[in-house]
Amino acid sequence: MADTVVTHDIPSVYEPSLFGTYSKKIGMWLFLMSDSLTFGALLYAYSYGRISTAGWPTPFHSTSIVNATIMTAFLLTSSLTMVMAVRASVQKDAKMQTIWLLATIACGAGFVILHGMEWSKLIAEGLTLPMFPAVPGHEVSAEFANVAKSVPQFPSTFFTLTGMHMVHVTLGIVYLGVVALRRKFIPVLLALWLIAWLATPSYSPFHYGAHVLLVAAVVISIILWLKPKVYDSSDVEVAGLYWHFVDLVWMFIFPLVYLMSTRI
């Protein structure tokens, strides 16, 4: 992989960088350190709840696990396409870089959509938080409803951990979209927002959650207006760091939240 190493010249009025790389990359690594502590605290809260609760439920059936496994496959594939995007960017192949980035975005979007459907199904079946509105016209599973009532820690930790991860994947999609398409991504994002908003019923948490995309569109419009720039291979590599990190976090959440809460 020696050909995929991104090089960057450091202006000579400064001391050579301590890690022999460019600042953006160090900045991203540091951000990931902080973010891993954020996720670490959430995982700690999960473990704490799990240990301190007698009779932790294991309600997930094979449908959930199959679904989550397909989601995992999407994410792992997206990591591969991300590596290809970085490779294309180092080889100065702009076309392939865009294509691989869009493929990564597509895999990420597939993950979020599957996850969203999974959430909606669980909520409809009664594995829900008290503040989520009831889903009309849907059979509530007695088992899920009982879990949500007797161990509220279970849905609490489930929705918090996976929700926080979903927000990270969504922001990652926005991030990669900006790197891939720059200004042209803003109409795409607005379209995604409208689809997510209008295609979900008003009792769904995603109906209002979709507005995250609107906020993101406003923020990136301001950023790109203040600082229009062409993204080079270093930006693609740094975006890749973030994307791989989000994948890695899922590799903790998937076994802890799904596999360890399955009836065997």
Partner 1 sequence: MGADLWIISIAIFCLGALMGALNFITTTLDMRAKGMTLMRMPLTCWAWFVTAILGLLAFGVLLSAGILLLMDRNLGTSFFVPLGTVNGVLTGHKGGSPLLWQHLFWFFGHPEVYIAILPAMGLCSQLLSVFSRKPIFGYKAMVYAILAIGFLGFMVWGHHMFMSGMSPYSAFAFSIMTMGIGVPSAIKTFNWLGTLWRGKIRFSSPMLFAIGFVSLFVVGGISGPFLAQPVLDIYLHETYFVIAHFHLIMGVASIFGIFAATYYWFPKMFGRMMNEPLAKTHFWLTFIGAYAIFMPMHYYGMAGGLRRYSQGTEVGWINQLWPIQRFISIAAFVTIAAQFIFVFNLFWSMKKGKKAVDNPWEATTLEWTTATPPPHDNFGGLTPVVYNGPYEYSVPGAPRDYVMQTDAPVTARH
Applying the rule CB under 8 A, the residues between 116 and 155 that interact with partner 1 are 129-132, 149, 151-153, 155
CB of 151 to partner 1, least distance (A): 6
Q: Is 208 a residue that touches partner 1 (CB under 8 A)?
A: no
Q: Is 93 a residue that touches partner 1 (CB under 8 A)?
A: no
The site map against partner 1 for 155-174 (x = CB under 8 A) is: xxx-xx---x----------
Q: Decide: helix, strand or coil at residue 150.
A: helix
Q: Is 42 a residue that touches partner 1 (CB under 8 A)?
A: yes
User: Residue 264 and residue 203: Cα distance in Å, rounded?
Assistant: 33
User: Residue 79 and residue 83: Cα distance in Å, rounded?
Assistant: 6
The site map against partner 1 for 47-66 (x = CB under 8 A) is: -xx--xx-------------
CB of 49 to partner 1, least distance (A): 7
- The answer for residues whose C-beta is within 8 angstroms of residue 98's C-beta and 6 or more apart is 180, 181
Number of residues near partner 1 (by CB under 8 A): 44
User: Residue 160 and residue 16: Cα distance in Å, rounded?
Assistant: 42
Per-residue DSSP letter, 184: G
Largest CA distance in the chain: 69
User: Residue 81 and residue 75: Cα distance in Å, rounded?
Assistant: 10
Q: Is 40 a residue that touches partner 1 (CB under 8 A)?
A: yes
Q: Is 10 a residue that touches partner 1 (CB under 8 A)?
A: yes
Contact with partner 1 (CB under 8 A) among 5, 23, 61, 218? 23
Q: 220: part of which helix (H) or strand (E)?
A: helix 211-226
Partners of 262 in beta bridges: 60
Q: Is 201 a residue that touches partner 1 (CB under 8 A)?
A: no
Per-residue DSSP letter, 264: -
Contact footprint for partner 1 (CB under 8 A) = 10, 12-15, 17-19, 22-23, 26-27, 30-31, 33-42, 44-45, 48-49, 52-53, 129-132, 149, 151-153, 155-157, 159-160, 164
